[in-house]
Structure 1
Amino acid sequence: MQTLEDKLKSVKDSGTDYYGKRLYSELEFAIELSKAKSGKYDDLIDKAMDYSVAEVSKTGSISEEICSHAENMLFQVAKEAKRYRVICAAHAHIDMNWMWRWDETAAVALDTFRTMLNLMDEYPDFKFSQSQASVYRIMEDYDPDMLSEVKKRIDEGKWEVTASTWVECDKNMPNGESLSRQLLYTKKYLSKLLGIDPNSLKIDFEPDTFGHSVNIPEILSDGGVKYYYHCRGYEGYNIYRWTAPSGKSVIAYHEPYGYNSDINPSMFLFVPEFCRNYNINTALKVYGVGDHGGGPTRRDIERIIDMNKWPVFPRIEFGTFHEYFNYLDNSGADFPEVKGELNFVFTGCYTTQSRIKAGNRITEAVLNEAEAFSALSSLYTGFKYRNGSFSKAWEDVLFNQFHDIIPGSGIIDTREYAMGNYQRALAIANSEKSKALRNIANLIDTREYADPDIDIKETTSEGAGVGFGVSDFKISQCDRGKGTKRVFTVFNPADIDREENVEITVWDWQGNIESIIFMDSYGNIVPHMLLKNGFDYYWGHSYIKILLEVKVPSYGYSTYVMDGGGREIEVPRSEYPRVEKEDNFILENSRVKIVFDKNNASIRSFIDKKSGEEMIDAAKPSGIFRLIEEDTDKQMTAWIVGRYMNITNLNRDVRIKNISYPSGNLRQGIHYEIPFRNSYLKVDAYLDDNSTALKYDVECRWLEVGENGVCIPQLNFIMPVNYKVASYVYDVPFGTIERQPMDMDVPAGNFALAKRSERGKKAVMLVTNNKYGFRGFENSIAVTLIRSSYDPDPYPELGVHKFSFEIQLADGTSRRALIDSSYCFNHPMSTLPVGVHGGKLKKINGFVSLEEGNVAVSAIKVPEGEPSSESDVKNRLIMRIYETEGKNGNAVFKFYSEPKRAYFMDINENIIETDSTIEIMGEKVKFDIKPYSIANICIEF
């Protein structure tokens, strides 16, 4: 006896003519519909099948008459079929610079949009959806006439804007502030450009993004985005409510089939079962040629029009993503809830093209500091805050966060364009930061440090050092002082007071190096240390570098004066050896003792002196660099980390060049070098006084190349620990996440902590300055430093790389403390050589301080559009903060002057009403904040 499937095959074999395909497709759909209805229509379908098979056996094909008769036999099924509806949403997935240059991206976008507009002229019911503010910027810049046509179609409801982010961005590596700016600048830009309501941009359209961090629903909700469309990173429900740890949620649609497709009848077979599973009657079908743009074709449109007329088929309509999500939101269906991150996919993308990733981390950091100090300088010194400049810088950074750029899955042209974007953004950020700091410093009263004996005609230091330090992403160390008394202002961009060592650059010093002293603003002698004996030279000037122990309040500055009239100090110098001593490579201060192996510079011991506990596993090589050969069998080497085939301990061929124990022990260090294969490592490992952090500054000349069938070379650093790791804590956008040990790379913003089950004991934490791929497994922490994938870019990493990281002992019970520590490592304090002048500001000052609360500050800025002549309110700051511990509580911030008013905003800087309270208490602002949530506070002065 033939089954329905057997009979269906006979109909399919009847030919490829129109009515044969139509009837076959309708019968296919009828079978799926009947399955969803527990076989309710099987008998009707069977009879229609028998008739069709019999007619085919007579005529050899399906005629219009045969098709129509069979459809009539399925009249009851047809009625049921038309209860289902499919919204067909047309779009063109346009990858930003994936396998091509920027000029080709622009051409792809404009060509695609012209096709869509032409099709709209011919098909009045056709609708098209397009995401990404970046493509509208292309239209504005390169074809503004087309833009007016698009605006007309938007007004008609034919062109849907699905952009709530600047690009379809990565959701793991950009920090929380970047993800907020994706929303802020997109809504601001598109609402003005297209004349649309910013609140209408409710969809985060991320079809190809490689994983989704845990706090995305919180960020989206705070930015007025209700819906999330994605394809990767999750294998569960297709429609669900994705909930953040804060409790905020979005309705998420996990694409079941793919976002780049044409229209064909088979794509509608899923509808009955899909609708039954989610208790709805409407499904979504996304169509259009994509990646390199293109969009829907004429054939797609004609098929939708035609298939909508088929009796035994669902209603098929041209529609939009907003239409579908609005339907889901109002359907009354109870969608399942999903909590947690939606990861992992394409783990190689946490490391590949490491220069792009370094550019992202560094530019985010400089913009953070530039905005904060520009805002504070604007408030307290009258400095002009340049919102327009910051917007331009952010646009470049946000563009580079596209899901094929920052992940490194592009080609050399991709990288070169991205690095140019970073340079433009850094030029703005560094210039604005430097001006803001200089403006503050110029208002500090330093007249008491004047040198009355100086002969100014013979000075050369003023103006020395132009641009010095910028190559290391610092502000320029151009000197403004002269004589033997020099004044320096040290700025702290963190929300905590800091006491640590900073590097000071002194230009064209004419005094006695051995008699230098430093004093703080109270006249106290401050410890310092020469980092090198003698002078270095830079473009016609000489300089010395000095390490200085400083104390600087949060979001503030401290003033230090250098004088040449002090007692002589011991200067490091080379001496002819009189006795030979045993090699003993130990770095030790009051808090930790670290012993290096004298043969290979691995770490043999790392002791917490307070508890006496040994922190590393002496049975395993610790603190070592490894050359790993990854298997290439999985291909897609930019995207996928291969199986580890061979692991070589690079510390076996170490050349230890120097170990430094200077007087005062402000910093002790060891320098070693490792030649391997075609490459070379230069490593400076050092320990500062009163710190538990062993810091590494590394320069690597990397000339390793991946090859298909051979291996993917990877440079890696690993630190085993001497305790049972219960789990690993990583930082993610606007918070942290705890993950179980996994033998695979996972993403983190800055750090990984090997958490232990015992409370109150120190744990080992690894913090990086520009790396994102970590592996916590078998009681160790590893970080992937460089990996030479070979496709699509065959040579993504050749060249000289510089990076830093630190191993520190941390209290794993406070997530805020981990975030603060990581922030300080990635945001070293800025030093500024200044002149002698009068001013209204004190020599030491903090503009903002956190007095109470488990919160971290993400940004301090001036509201968009300010200052301007149209603004009714001057002297406003926005602070974006987030709760770190998962507890209800209050946050209290103290300001340099008394606020007049404070209120809550959303990410888009709209004033909002909440059930949280906020009050002003003199110089303080107090408000309550919910667990794991974001708060945007606007303060008026």
Structure 2
Amino acid sequence: MHMRTIDSRLRQLLGAAPNSYWDEKIKSKPGPYGERILSQLVFASELSKGNAHAFDEAITATLDYVERQIAEEGVIAKRTALQAEQLLTAVAPAAKSYDILCVAHAHIDMNWMWPWDETVSVTLDTFRTMLTLMEEYPSFVFSQSQASVYRIVQQYDPLMLEEIKRRVREGRWEVTASHWVEADKNMPNGESLTRQILYTKRYLSQLLGIDPASLNLDFEPDTFGHSVFVPEILTNAGVRYYYHCRGSDGPIAYRWVAPSGNSVVCYREPTWYNDPIQPILGSYVPQICRQTGLKTHLHVYGVGDHGGGPTRRDLERLHAMNDWPIFPNIRFGRFADYYKQLESVSGTLPVVKGEQNCVFTGCYTSQSRIKTANRIGEATLQEAELFSAAAGALAGAAYPRAAYEEAWRNVLFNQFHDILPGSGVIETREHALGLFQHTMAIANTNRKLALERIAAGIDTSDLGGPDEAGTVSEGAGVGYGTQAFQITQVERGQGSTRIVHLFNPSAQNREEPVEIVLWDWNYAIRTLIVKDSDGNETAYQMLDKGFHTYWGHHYMRLLIEAKVPACGYSTYTVSLGEEEFEPFFPTDPRVDREERFVLENELLQVTFHPVFATVISMIDKTTGTELIDTARPAGLFRLIQEDPGKGMTAWWVGRYMSAASVHDQVKLVKGQRGPLRQSLNYELRFGNSAMKVAVSLDRNSPYLKYRIECDWQEIGKKGKSIPQLNFHWPLGYTSPSYTYDVPFGTVEREPLGMDVPGNSYAFGKREEKEEGGNKPSIMLVTNNKYGFRGTDDSLAVSLIRSSFDPDPYPELGNHHKIEMAVCVIGSHSTNRELTEAAYRFNHPLNVLSGTTHPGTRTKDASFLRLIEGSVALSAVKMPENPEGKRWIVRVYETDGQAAIAKLQLFKPATDAWYVDSNEIRLQTGLFIRVDGEYVCFEVPAYSAAAVCIVFE
């Protein structure tokens, strides 16, 4: 009762809303001395609550006095404030036992609501203010994150960079940038989050002359969620501390433990990271310090973006407030100062496990082209580095380190938490897609150069026929394939025998149909023969009945059954066989039969509705199991209207107001019917939009593939709705939980009626106790989507959303291309098998036209193969510091059990050792052994590990 009286009296004096006098929204104007004494009274009251109300009597007496003076004078004058402070003298020792460590920061968003040139101006103008304040206030200290802003200074104001370097040397400018940008932590893959740190530490340590080990804080104040393996990624790179604001409402200070057991010390900002100094800030201190176990409170201040960071008023206020007798000591400081204290009590901090998610679920779908750029950029760079490393070790080819770093920087920049999530304006998207074009020019070019260098050493001298005069095929196809983000399918052969090299980026052998392009084939088609490197005929299927024209050339597409070794290549030929005489029989139909729309191979039988083109049955032929809920249509495209009432439509998926099938008036036609592929094509029209869908099933394939082209013309409107295109697949079994791939692993989530992030797939896990043995389950995998929904025994993915703020038309004018697959997976399959299935879908085989020439290498070969171990391959690259023929191989354990990864190499290695994510040699107690062409090394459960392999 007594405490309620003190609180209510303080609220009345402050004019604040009930229970929120600490929210810095003082409605009255008490004047400078009124603000001074009331702020101290609030702090004293909060301090008393944590000390058995020891100071209540003094606070009550002071309130009596202040209220009397207000009644008499109408204001709180200077003498009133000073006398009130005297009445609180008994509180002073306890008050001064606390410290407020004030850390200045300027939160600078990369291209959020403005274009790149404005980001540059904001950065330079803000930093000029900070440097000026440092001249005027010798005790002022400033902290700044993100390597990208230092790159801006280096590029656009090198003289300012010299000033910053001087302040860094003085210890007054703290560099808190362990990442290129304050990145999203859900949609980038684990390799990207590793490269954020690798390239940042290398760049800043060289640029600013600082110890890379000092870059040990991951500062993510505004990031929209934090994936479960973030502590693992940070620990592997020497980052020990984490700062965030969103994604959790749990402890303020805690130790975040990854599934591997590695951990980081975290501070979750309980107030905000983007504010000016307000005298009422003392009200936070006692309660927060009770939770952290420290007598020091971290207060981050400085208005970000166009606020220009800390101001002169902020500094003057801090100096003045430090003289208040009933208030904590105030000092300027650095994040490093606070985390050093926090680490000293880390053994007593609460332990948090699991992901710190989710917030802003619309960000997994908004601005779909930016998300395509991220997925494709990551995948292409991974392959380019792999094949360049192989070309370097095999053929002594130069490894384009600087070019790859430049491309990675583009990818990393676009992973900023307002760019990749799609919560920016039109200029945000335009700049991101420009960087993507640059990335692909580097990655795709170097990928192909590496493949060509490898192919140049393959002995193909016994393949091919005589040269032909006047050939037009050689050089055809320039540029063909880049729109699908593949290497260009330019023809290098001629005549009636063509050589094709197929390259496999997976760490496992692959056997699957692959599409090749045959340019200017002026010979008989029906006598084509496709042979493998041993001269054995292999099955093929013509995908085109006629010829396509392309810039003065013509081509046709051929599907061949191919086998390609792990991280290697195979060689095939397409040639003209001998034509046997066969009498011609007319093919006119003689009998009408029932038309059935069924795709079937050795594993699956998929039946489509003859009117709506939805899937009405999917049978696993090995067990006879029906895989869908036949009471609900599967393969259903839905037009969802979301409730826009929550606002911030790019950030939030609204409540579904309606979810209507768009399978009305379907134009349905049969596609391919051959030995390697069956397909079904249909067209849909809904609202103002149109969509073409090609569904296919290949020989021995567990993937029912969907290839979608959508002319999306739906517009979201305030007060009306947010249109969304959605794909829905009901399951034919009970799914108690759903598995999603996340950076460097997987996470299992309970059914949730909201969009959640997955790097590429969602897997509906079958009830383990279900009768009938190992019946298969369903995985939904995509090539450019991140927002999945596993609930109600079904899987769904959000494909396109027409949010309308901050970009009013984010998806208009885009010809959307989407690829996804419904993949049948054994219920007892491991996470590694899920991850590999998703990897294969996102990394098709590379096709390269070959020529006849001598060489020293066989027609089929593997550079690297994973023989044993529950690990997935993340990267194969050459080290950033060039030292002979060496590879960095990074893997991560997928199934929660310590593994011995066994790799088979293309030739014997001479040595191998563990390295961290910064490629620094580690001394560990983990097992590692080199045995000729085999390298075996230990990977603890749920861990990521990297090894450096040395060749002669």
Q: TM-score, normalised by structure 1?
A: 0.97
Closer, same or farther: CA 733–566 of 1 in aligned 2, 3 Å = farther
CA deviation digits over 1:149-174, x for unaligned, max 9? 01111111111111111111000000
Map residues 52-71 of structure 1 onto 2, 5 A cutoff.
52-71=66-85
In 2, distance between residues paired with 1:54 and 1:729?
65
Letter matched to residue 892 of structure 1: K
Q: Deviations 1:739-788 (Å, cap 9, x if unpaired)?
A: 11111111000111110123622101111000001111111101111010
Distance 1:99 1:541 in 2: 45
For residue 449 of structure 1, report the CA deviation from its aligned partner: 0.9
Paired position in structure 2 for 1:211: 225
CA 1:267/1:558 → structure 2, altered by over 3 Å: closer, same or farther? Answer: same
Residue 870 of structure 1 corresponds to none
| Alignment counterpart, residue 76 of structure 1, candidates 63, 87, 90 | 90
Q: Which moved more, 1:285-294 or 1:93-102?
A: 285-294
- 2:257 counterpart (243, 246, 250): 243
- CA distance, structure 1, for counterparts of residue 652 and residue 793 of structure 2: 24
- 1:406-555 equivalent positions in 2, closer than 5 A: 406-452=420-466, 454=467, 456-555=468-567
1:540-564 CA-partner distances (Å, limit 9, x unpaired): 1111110010001100000011110
CA contact (8 A) 1:445 1:842 kept: yes
Match of 2:739 in 1: 729
Which string of whole-angstrom CA distances, capped at 9 and with x for unpartnered residues, describes residues 909-941 of structure 1? 111112211111111111111100010100011
- In 2, Cα distance between the equivalents of 1:586 and 1:66? 88
Alignment of 1:877 with 2:891, yes or no, is: no
Residue 824 of structure 2 aligns with which residue?
809
Equivalent residues of 1:532, 1:545 under 8 A apart: yes
Equivalence for 2:19: none
Percent of aligned pairs with the same amino acid:
51
* 1-structure distance, mates of 2:225, 2:6: 41
Match of 2:849 among 833, 844, 855: 833
Which stretch of the first structure deviates more once superposed, 235-244 or 752-761?
A: 752-761
**TM-score normalised to structure 2 length:** 0.96
1:659 to 668, 671, 681: 671
TM-superposed deviation, 1:534: 1.8
Match in the other structure for 1:600:
612
Corresponding residue of 1:113? 127
Instruction: Report how far residue 60 of structure 1 moved.
Output: 4.1
> Counterpart of 2:21?
none
* 1:277 CA drift (Å): 2.5
Q: Is the 8 A contact 2:184 2:415 kept in 1?
A: yes
8 Å Cα contact 2:915-2:922 kept in structure 1: yes
Q: Secondary structure at the match of 1:526?
A: coil
Identify which of 183, 192, 200 aligns with 1:186: 200
1:804-833 Cα deviation digits (max 9, x unpaired): 001111124310000001000000000111
How far apart, in 1, do the equivalents of 2:864 and 2:403 lie? 24
Query: Displacement of 1:838 after TM fit?
Result: 0.5
- Residues 514 and 568 of structure 1 are in contact (CA less than 8 Å); yes or no, is this contact kept in structure 2? no
User: CA–CA distance in 1 between the matches of 2:925 and 2:546?
Assistant: 62
Counterparts of 1:574 and 1:311, CA distance in 2: 104
Of residues 346, 364, 367, the one that matches 2:381 is 367
Asked if 2 retains the 8 angstrom alpha-carbon contact of 1:636 and 1:791, the reply is yes
| Corresponding residue number in structure 2 for 1:636 | 648
Counterpart CA distance in 2 for 1:574 and 1:493 is 46
Structure 2 residue 591 is matched with structure 1 residue 579 = yes
Deviations 1:99-138 (A, max 9, x none): 1000000000000000000011000011111111111111
Match of 1:580, SS state, is coil
Residues in 2 aligned to 1:620 and 1:331: alpha-carbon distance in whole angstroms: 55
From 677, 692, 695, the equivalent of 2:702 is 692
Cα distance, 1:448–1:332 mapped onto 2, change above 3 Å: closer
1:376-415 equivalent positions in 2, closer than 5 A:
376-415=390-429
- Sort the Cα spacing of 1:310 and 1:908 in 2 relative to 1 into closer, same or farther, 3 A: same
Matched to 1:687, the amino acid is L
Q: Which of 924, 928, 932 lines up with 1:914 in the alignment?
A: 924
Structure 2 residue runs of 5 or longer lacking an equivalent are: 16-27
Distance 1:316 1:691 in 2: 66
Q: How far, CA to CA, are the matches of 1:633 and 1:49 in structure 2?
A: 44
My pick for the range that moved more, 82-91 or 646-655, is 646-655
**Worse overlay, 346-355 or 58-67:** 58-67
Structure-2 change in CA distance of 1:102 and 1:293 (3 Å): farther
Task: Show structure 1 runs of 5+ residues with no match.
Answer: 867-872
1-structure distance, mates of 2:881, 2:68:
74
Q: Partner of 1:90: helix, strand, or coil? A: strand
Q: For each residue in 1:839-868, what CA deviation from the matched residue of structure 2 results, as whole angstroms up to 9, or x when unmatched?
A: 1110000010111100001000011132xx
Q: Does the CA-based 8 Å contact 1:95-1:292 persist in structure 2?
A: no
Q: SS of the residue aligned with 1:892? A: strand
Q: 1:923 to 1:294 in 2, by over 3 A?
A: same
Q: Secondary structure at the match of 1:651?
A: coil
Query: In the TM superposition, what is the alpha-carbon distance from 1:622 to its structure 2 partner?
Result: 1.0
What does 1:328-367 correspond to in 2, within 5 Å? 328-331=342-345, 334-367=348-381
Mapped partners of 2:230, 2:379: distance in 1: 21
Q: Which residue of 1 aligns with 2:872?
A: 856
Work out whether residues 519 and 560 of structure 1, in 8 Å CA contact, stay in contact via their aligned partners in 2.
Answer: yes
Cα offsets for 1:509-554 (capped at 9, x unmatched): 1221111101111111110111011211111111111001000110
Question: Which residue of the other structure, out of 832, 836, 839, is the alignment partner of 1:823?
Answer: 839
Q: Please give the secondary structure, in 1, of the residue aligned with 2:602.
A: coil
Please give the alpha-carbon distance, in whole angstroms, between the structure 1 residues aligned to 2:878 and 2:12.
Answer: 71
Aligned equivalents of 1:19, 1:51: Cα separation in 2: 15
- Contact kept, 8 Å, 2:252 with 2:291, in 1: the verdict is no
Shift of 1:591: 1.0
2-structure distance, mates of 1:546, 1:293:
59
The residue aligned with 2:25 is none
Question: Equivalents in 2 of 1:783, 1:633: separation in Å?
Answer: 22
| 1:554-613 deviation per Cα after TM superposition (whole angstroms, max 9, x unaligned) | 000000111102456999999544433221111111111111111111111100000001
CA RMSD of aligned residues (A): 1.8
CA contact (8 A) 2:778 2:825 kept: yes
Q: What does the per-residue CA deviation read over 1:431-471, in whole Å, with 9 as the maximum and x for residues that have no partner?
A: 0000000011111000101313x4x3221111111111111
Name the counterpart of 2:18: none
1:4 corresponds to: 6
Q: 1:614 aligns with which of 603, 606, 626?
A: 626
Q: Contact conserved, 1:533 with 1:573, CA < 8 A, in 2?
A: no
Contact 2:625/2:775 (CA < 8 Å) preserved in 1? no
User: CA separation in 1, counterparts of 2:73 and 2:662?
Assistant: 76
Structure 2 SS opposite 1:877? strand
The count of residues paired between Structure 1 and Structure 2 equals: 931
SS in 1 for 2:53: coil
How far the C-alpha of 1:650 sits from its partner, in A, is: 1.1
Secondary structure at the counterpart of residue 34 of structure 1? helix
Q: Are the aligned partners of 1:108 and 1:293 in contact in 2 as well (CA < 8 Å)?
A: no
Paired residue for 1:869?
Answer: none
Letter in 1 for 2:861: N
- Per-residue Cα deviation, 1:658-707 (whole angstroms, up to 9, x for no partner): 33322xx2000011101112111101101001112110111000011001
Tell me the SS of whatever aligns to 2:591: coil
Given the alignment, which residue of 812, 815, 818 partners 1:800?
815
Matched ranges for 1:166-315 at <5 A: 166-315=180-329
Q: Secondary structure at the match of 2:42?
A: helix
